[in-house]
Amino acid sequence: MKKALTASGALLAALILTACSSGTTAPVTSQAPTATAVASAPAPVPVTVNIASLKGPTTMGLVGLMDNAAKGTAAEDYKVTMFASPDEVVPLVAQGSVDMALIPSNLAAVLYAKTKGTDAQISVLAINTLGVLNIVESGNTIHSIADLKGKTVYLTGKGASPEYVLDYLLKQAGLTPGVDVDLQFLTEHAEVVAKLTATPGSIGVLPQPFVTIAEAKSANLRTALDLTAEWAKVSPDSQLITGVVVVRNSFATAHPDAVAQFMKDYAASTAWVNAKPADAAPLIVAAGIVPDPTLAEKSIPLCYITFVAGADMKSSLSGYLQVLFAADPKSVGGSMPGDDFYFAG
């Protein structure tokens, strides 16, 4: 009997082993996933983010992000289109054709007023450029804002920061824009550069990197006034802020993770451009912003490329817009933006 039991036990063990090897045993319900199972999980699908930017410092800060997108290594599918004038960008945002845009700071307030309560309503994600505007002269007669009296000044940005910053500074100097100073608005910065290099005695308002480009073209050109310094003289409690990045609220609501990822990627891009100008310069040239890598590298420290978000962004930007509003309410859309103008995250 003992031998029979032993034989039966051996037979049972053999049957169990056979069943295990043939995969016919009942499934185990509490089994940790294998490395193969984890590896085969589908990767998140990148979100397409359509971004409109302007030719100049704002796009210079984006080139690291743009390069990653071109290489296919970016976390999201960033599609950046660069434009020469804010007039081309604002309608795209209002129509919902782009998800984010890098535009002059006062235009962001105007756009907020126009889109409030609509599907295209926007909010500001971050400040991306500080004061980059300069008075450039083909000569040596301008040493203060008051010296612009009786002069013609060429500039771009009608209805945007260049116009309202200069208007404010002229009024603070006791001058009336359009009366004491003839303001001639052109479409692109390149047109202002052409005027300055071709006409002795001409005066223009240019942002970086176009100041560096213009002065490289003509030894007769000089930076007469830094408008950031001039602003600080008459408005020491506020900061001159040239550009911001805005997002359509409907896009931010639909894709909060993509917006958060963009903020990380854009902050990293601006930090990299500022820290590695020699590496960023070829990308700036490739983007068509500056024609020469040496000039691009030289201009980066002068462009005040930055990334300021959250409470610091709200404090600085609201202070700047308040100064513009007090000088001319229409410069910020007729009224000061509400709290929902500032992206809360």
Integer Cα distance of 76 and 179 in angstroms: 50
Q: What is the dihedral sign for C-alpha 131, 111, 172, 315?
A: negative
Q: Please state whether 298 falls in left (phi above 0), alpha (psi between -120 and 50) or beta.
A: alpha
What are the tens digits of pLDDT across the range 48-57? 999 999 998 9
Q: Which tokens go with 189?
A: 């910065």
In this structure, what are the phi and psi dihedrals at residue 337, rounded to the nearest 5 degrees? -60, 150
Considering the segment(s) 133-234 as one domain, its CATH architecture is: 3-Layer(aba) Sandwich (3.40)
CA 106 to chain centre: 14
Specify the pLDDT at position 39. Answer: 54
Q: What are the CA-CA distances from residue 252 to residues 36, 86, 123, 125, 344 (Å)?
A: 35, 22, 9, 10, 11
Domains 48-130+240-332 and 133-234 share a fold: yes
Nearest to 307 by CA among 46, 65, 47: 65
Q: What are the CA-CA distances from residue 234 to residues 203, 228, 230, 323 (Å)?
A: 22, 10, 7, 11
Domain residue spans in the chain?
Answer: 48-130+240-332, 133-234
Integer Cα distance of 146 and 172 in angstroms: 9
Which residues is 153 bridged to in the sheet? 183, 203
Nearest to 251 by CA among 101, 120, 65, 103: 120
Write out residues in the chain with pLDDT < 50, as ranges: 1-38
Question: What secondary structure, in 3-state letters, does 61-117 show?
Answer: CCHHHHHHHHHCCCCCEEEEEEECCHHHHHHHHHCCCCCEEEEEHHHHHHHHHHHCC
Q: Tokens 């083909």 — which residue?
A: 138
Domain 48-130+240-332: which CATH class?
Answer: alpha beta
Integer Cα distance of 56 and 303 in angstroms: 9
Which residues is 225 bridged to in the sheet? 135
Integer Cα distance of 256 and 248 in angstroms: 12
Nearest to 71 by CA among 315, 237, 283: 283
Q: What are the CA-CA distances from residue 340 to residues 121, 208, 255 (Å)?
A: 10, 31, 18
Integer Cα distance of 11 and 73 in angstroms: 59
